[in-house]
Amino acid sequence: MNNIFIEALNFVNYHNKDELIGKITGINDKDEILNKLAPYIGIVKLIGPKVNLQVIGEVVNNGGCAIAKVYRNGIHYVLITEVENLDICVLDINDNDFNGDNYVSLEDSSYCNRRVKMVRFISNNEEDYALMNVMDREVILLQKD
């Protein structure tokens, strides 16, 4: 869990990111990490039906990023780096075994290694890179300072 937050801090490039990374080093509990970071950066946690792609897009496309709980052989966390009309750009730092399918293509970028079709991303099913059941959705927004 810690690695995805470090990647998010690097992506957004906060002016004090080294200090922030130091505060969460060695912590793997998501809520504890959020508590450590909250006094220093804008964090919004969206749960269940409050997960809203328009809000995610506004934050991500204005220099922030989002950490999303998705399905990938079980519960999995990825970094959303861009929201486009029909696609979500995702950085998955924890899975190198995925070969792509009709809804998820592989990308070769430092900020996007998966391009997920919107229809897959918002799926209620347990499919690769889907947000799954609406009531179980979780997205953490990290806003640009």
Per-residue model confidence as pLDDT tens digits over 82-97: 999 899 999 999 878 8
Task: Round the average pLDDT of the chain to a whole number and report it.
Answer: 93
The answer on pLDDT for 76 being more than 90 is yes
Q: Does the pLDDT at position 129 exceed 90? A: yes
6 class by beta-carbon count within 10 Å (0-12 exposed, 13-18 middle, 19+ buried): middle
Number of domains composing the chain:
1
Task: Tell me how far apart the alpha carbons of residues 122 and 53 are, in angstroms, rounded to a whole number.
Answer: 9
pTM of the model: 0.94
Q: Tell me: the pLDDT tens digits for 6-30? A: 999 999 988 889 999 999 999 999 9
CATH number of the domain where residue 24 is located = 3.90.70
Domain of 108, in residue numbers: 2-142
